[in-house]
């Protein structure tokens, strides 16, 4: 399935995520941002004080699913992901972020 980036009738979703494991100090945020931009998604990513990485993804459902798989299984080359949790998934009518940012 190629076609338009925002296929008609393919709704937008927003989902929060938190990734546990060896995910800080391994360029995880930079790689997540790169992957999100490649997929045309918006949102954010940040390190937490308890050693995880968290954020929010928004975009077409199929693309969001792709990034969820990436967060679950791949991550940055040096990372070791033990768990990726997703929450607060909801349909949205418009994107709430302009791009995908790394928050401090």
- Average pLDDT estimate for 68-93: 98
Q: Is the pLDDT of residue 96 over 70?
A: yes
pLDDT score recorded for residue 76: 98
Catalytic residue among 29, 63, 65, 88: 29
**SS3 category, 97:** coil
Residue 47 a catalytic site member: yes
Catalytic residue among 47, 80, 83, 88: 47
Predicted TM-score of the model (pTM): 0.89
Residue 38 a catalytic site member: no
Other beta carbons within 10 angstroms of residue 34's beta carbon come to: 13
**SS3 category, 13:** strand
Residue 9 — pLDDT band, cuts 50, 70, 90? Answer: low
- Average pLDDT estimate for 50-68: 98
pLDDT above 70 as % of the chain: 90
3-state helix, strand, coil in the chain (%, to 5): 25, 40, 35
C-alpha–C-alpha distance, residues 8 and 103, integer Å: 31
């Amino acid at each position: 399935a190629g076609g338009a980036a925002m296929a008609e009738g393919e709704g937008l979703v927003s989902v929060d995520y938190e990734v546990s494991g060896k995910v800080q100090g391994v360029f995880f945020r930079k790689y997540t941002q790169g992957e999100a931009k490649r997929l045309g998604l918006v949102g954010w990513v940040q390190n937490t004080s308890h050693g995880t990485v968290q954020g929010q993804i928004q975009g077409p459902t199929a693309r969001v699913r792709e990034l969820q798989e990436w967060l679950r299984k791949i991550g940055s080359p040096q990372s070791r992901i033990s768990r990726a949790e997703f929450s607060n998934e909801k349909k949205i009518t418009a994107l709430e972020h302009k791009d995908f940012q790394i928050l401090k």
